[in-house]
Chain A
Amino acid sequence: MKVNLVSRNGREVVKGGIELTDEATVSDLQEAIHARIKKYYPSRQRLTLPLQAGSKGKPVVLIPKKKLADYCDGNANNLTVVFKDLGVQVSYSTLFFWEYLGPLVIYPVFYYFPVYKYFGYEGERTIYPVQTYALYYWCFHYFKRILETFFVHRFSHATSPLSNVFRNCAYYWTFGAYIAYHVNHPLYTPVGDFQIKIGFTFGLICQLANFYCHLILRNLRSPDGNGGYQIPRGFLFNIVTCANYTTEIYQWLGFNMATQTIPGCVFLVVATLIMTNWALTKHRRLKKLFDGKEGRPRYPRRWVILPPFM
């Protein structure tokens, strides 16, 4: 069969189209495109069916495993596919590694090195125990995240646009420096011992819970990375859809309880907003997918992210 590859404004992307066997899959098409145009490796391609004139709604995205023939509704020999270049892609592991490496490296710099003299604070500084524990807690957190990136997470999409690297790194690294500056400051004021102990203990428990949540999520996906959605079950997922985000938020709350800085709290608020946004999307998607019809299970009633608020 012949595939006409067009861009969104109608221009032919591959002159003369692409010839494939009738049994060819979308994945074969992606490989063929890549062979014709070197820079368009498969993860950079977004292939959709053309939208019918006048119809609203989102275009149908071609799924790599499916056969091209499944998308031909009539003319079995000819198929028009719309192509969009997603831009340079990086693997999610790469993205996560770089965005987490920043905080892991930057924070200890403020702790160990005499950076504050460049801000006008000369002389020795007394380091409080809480500042040392905060260093360990923080570094453990980001080290854990990097390990999870390489050994635990199974990603639904293999790649992410390169621009996300800059955006995400800016976010993590800037906040990392902002918090590190304040917690390790020579004029830092610690809170009471009890509050510190509760904060770090609670935070640590939440970090462990968070790790367990990631393990559960990992087991929802098969190793071949098919990325099909399933209803998460077990542990906190029985109560809340995005238990992993919940534990993450509470873990930062623990850190802030122990260190009590405004920058830390700002980070907590921003991170909560971002994760809540993700959680709402995920919750809606799962509810829509698992509607109880046609033999599919019905998505159970659950909190979205932060009981009892949402």
Chain B
Amino acid sequence: MAVEDVDGIYAHFGGSSAHLIKLHQCAHLASPPPFSIRIPSPSSMAGFLYALRRIYLSLYNWTVFIGWFQVLYFAVKALREGGPTTVYDAVEKPLQLAQTAAVLEILHGIVGLVRSPVSATLPQIGSRLFLVWGILWSIPETRTHVLVSSLVISWSITEIIRYSFFGMKEALGFAPSWLLWLRYSTFLLLYPTGITSEVGLIYVALPFIKASEKYCIRMPNKWNFTFDYFYASIIALAIYVPGMFLVLLIIQVNKDCLPNCFNHISSGSPHMYGYMLGQRKKALSKSKTA
């Protein structure tokens, strides 16, 4: 990395980069003068870590963006060429990669890299992973259903907007207002379609889950444990609507980090929908006056 780049990043955070430049220059000398190796001061250390965080998050968001872009591209391509039954096979790999990568976001929340509450991101990502691995990958009979198309298209458009939004904020420091508008407006259609697809696919999978007895643990066993995937899926279905309601409540409690955790909603409840309409009004009017 050129010295100028280091300086550039530092100028952004107002940290002192002089000593780092010296270090960099000294690296090219045969025998560096002893006085030029200095321990970074706390403020510049913080600045360095802040820069690192931004670079990492930019890379993360744009990488996952590309993943979801692929999902949308292959999905549309497969729809046009082979029809809805071919969509899953076309998108399987990027879908699994992009959605599983989202687990990192839980880590980001835990270590404090981002401000989203873990309590809101966990159920959201949990439900996504359940669909991708627990339903679509585990129960192949669901893959040819038409709801798969609506699912991946709803998800991919939402995620493309979301990751590009965060990608821009981290990389450039701001996001264009049209992107903000997209983020707060497309949910109006995409969350209902997404949730309907999710619930629908779980429902479609139920008879196959029961018949296959997959992931079931029966008694007797040493730890007196049972697990029935069929009943667990039904419970998952049952908590979908109030579960999303609960996520809404958690987000309301964590109001100050709303812009970040807004994204970790997939709405099914009418209450949530109405709430987000209100938030949309607020966010868009704020961006007008800003």
Contacts and interface: CB of A to CB of B under 8 A. Distances in A.
Instruction: Indicate whether A and B interact.
Output: yes
Interface of A: 182-183, 185, 187-189, 259-263
A137 to B, nearest CB: 16
B118 to A, nearest CB: 13
A185 B223 contact: no
Interface stretch (B104-112, B120-128, B214-222, B264-272): B214-222
A189 B220 contact: yes
27 contacts: A182-B224, A182-B225, A182-B226, A183-B224, A185-B219, A185-B224, A185-B226, A187-B219, A187-B220, A188-B219, A188-B220, A188-B224, A189-B219, A189-B220, A189-B221, A189-B224, A259-B224, A260-B222, A260-B223, A260-B224, A261-B223, A261-B224, A261-B225, A262-B224, A262-B225, A263-B224, A263-B225
B13 to A, nearest CB: 24
Given A183-B224, A188-B224, A259-B224, 9 more contacts: A182-B225, A185-B219, A185-B224, A187-B219, A189-B221, A189-B222, A189-B224, A261-B223, A262-B225
Nearest to A265: B223
Contacts of A262: 223-225
Interface centre among A259, A260, A262 (most CB of B within 10 A): A262
Contacts of B220: 187-189
CB-based closest 4 A-B pairs: A262-B225, A187-B219, A261-B224, A187-B220
B167 to A, nearest CB: 32
Contacts of B219: 182, 185, 187-189
Nearest to A259: B224
Interface of B: 219-226
Contacts of A260: 222-224
A98 B242 CA distance: 23
A238 B225 CA distance: 39
Contacts of B226: 182, 185
B110 to A, nearest CB: 15
A187 B222 CA distance: 11
B230 to A, nearest CB: 13
A183 B220 CA distance: 11
A166 to B, nearest CB: 11
B29 to A, nearest CB: 50
Nearest to B222: A189
A306 B224 CA distance: 27
Contacts of A189: 219-222, 224
A262 B225 CA distance: 6
B127 to A, nearest CB: 20
Contacts of A259: 224
Contacts of A263: 224-225
